[in-house]
């Protein structure tokens, strides 16, 4: 069964420093997609970054980059130059393989609570 | 560009009651998925609607049902509410069902007493 593991329940980082949030995944499907979402206390899940299993380059979106290590089945999120507004829950998710073909169904990890300190 | 909207924002019900939650997808999107997020956990997939049909379903009982309208908006219905149904219900929209990025709404917080 496909699974996402986030082993860091909480993280602290100083403002303006970089932080890495860990994510490992388990799948036997060669084709999959990995996502990171941010969830502030308001509840809305905000899409941050996507990495496809066949992408040759690590994904980057502004201050967010994804450290994709396929052999180790890890997809860590790196946030550079942390800001106070980055304080939130961060979820790693994988698009599930399905016998019916491509799907939008996401499997989420348990999340990491990031606190940015001034 | 209108994002995903959900209503109501909060809801309190008692056990055994029925509830209907509503979602309007992001402009240009035609696929709606629903997720349940219990406190302290990641979201769990309930089901997905495309072309007014349920296309895929997660591990949820038949008490959970849905509908998609011609304008792509969607409803989630939960019958015979249990205390364990208390959660944040998130709607996500995308264009098509081929693995495109989903964009989420602000959610509806349901409390069952």
Asked if residues A15 and A84 have their Cβ atoms less than 8 Å apart, the reply is yes
- Those residues of chain B whose CB sits closer than 8 Å to some CB in chain A are 31, 33, 35, 40-45, 48, 55-56, 58, 88, 90, 92, 94, 97-107, 109
| Full pLDDT tens readout for chain A, 118 residues | 789 999 999 999 999 999 999 999 999 888 889 999 999 998 999 999 999 999 989 999 999 999 999 999 999 999 999 999 999 999 999 997 666 666 788 999 999 999 999 9
The vertex-A111 CA angle with A47 and A45, nearest 5°, equals 30
- B45-53 mean pLDDT: 94
DSSP state of A62: T
Q: Which residues of B touch A91 (CB under 8 A)?
A: 42-43
Q: Inspect the interface and report whether the beta carbons of A50 and B105 lie closer than 8 Å.
A: no
- B21-32 mean pLDDT: 95
Question: Can you tell me the distance from the alpha carbon of B32 to that of B26, in angstroms, rounded to the nearest whole number?
Answer: 9
Q: Which residues of A touch B97 (CB under 8 A)?
A: 102-104
What is the percent of chain B where pLDDT is above 90?
90
pLDDT of residue A102: 61
Asked if residues A67 and A74 have their Cβ atoms less than 8 Å apart, the reply is yes
* Paired sense of beta strands A64-69 and B64-68, if any: unpaired
CA count, 13 A, side-chain hemisphere, B38: 8
* CA-based nearest distance A108→chain B, Å: 5
**Which of B41, B56, B107 is the closest to A98 by Cβ?**
B56
Question: Can you tell me the distance from the alpha carbon of A71 to that of A85, in angstroms, rounded to the nearest whole number?
Answer: 33
Chain A contact probe: residue of B26, B102, B108 with most A CBs at under 10 A:
B102
CA A11 remoteness from chain centre:
14
CA proximity to B73, closest of B42, B104, B29: B29
């Amino acid at each position: 069964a496909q699974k996402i593991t986030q082993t860091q329940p909480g993280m602290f980082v100083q403002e303006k420093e970089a932080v890495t949030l860990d994510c490992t995944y388990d799948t036997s499907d060669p084709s999959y997609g990995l996502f990171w979402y941010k969830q502030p206390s308001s509840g809305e899940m905000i899409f941050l970054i996507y990495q496809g299993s066949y992408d040759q380059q690590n994904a980057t979106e502004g201050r967010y980059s994804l450290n994709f290590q396929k052999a180790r089945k890890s997809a860590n999120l790196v946030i550079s130059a942390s800001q106070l507004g980055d304080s939130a829950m961060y979820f790693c998710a994988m698009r599930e393989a399905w016998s019916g073909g491509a799907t939008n169904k996401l499997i989420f990890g348990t999340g990491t609570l990031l606190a940015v300190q001034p | 560009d209108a994002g995903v909207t959900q209503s109501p924002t909060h809801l309190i019900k008692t056990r055994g009651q029925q509830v209907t939650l509503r979602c309007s997808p992001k402009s240009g999107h035609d696929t709606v998925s629903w997720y349940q997020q219990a406190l302290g956990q990641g979201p769990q997939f309930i089901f997905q609607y495309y072309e007014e049909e349920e296309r895929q379903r997660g591990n949820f009982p038949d008490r959970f049902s849905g509908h998609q309208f011609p304008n792509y908006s969607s409803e989630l219905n939960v019958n015979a509410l249990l205390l364990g149904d208390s959660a944040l219900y998130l709607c996500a929209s995308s264009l098509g069902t081929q693995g495109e990025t989903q964009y989420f709404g602000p959610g509806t917080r349901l409390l069952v007493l």
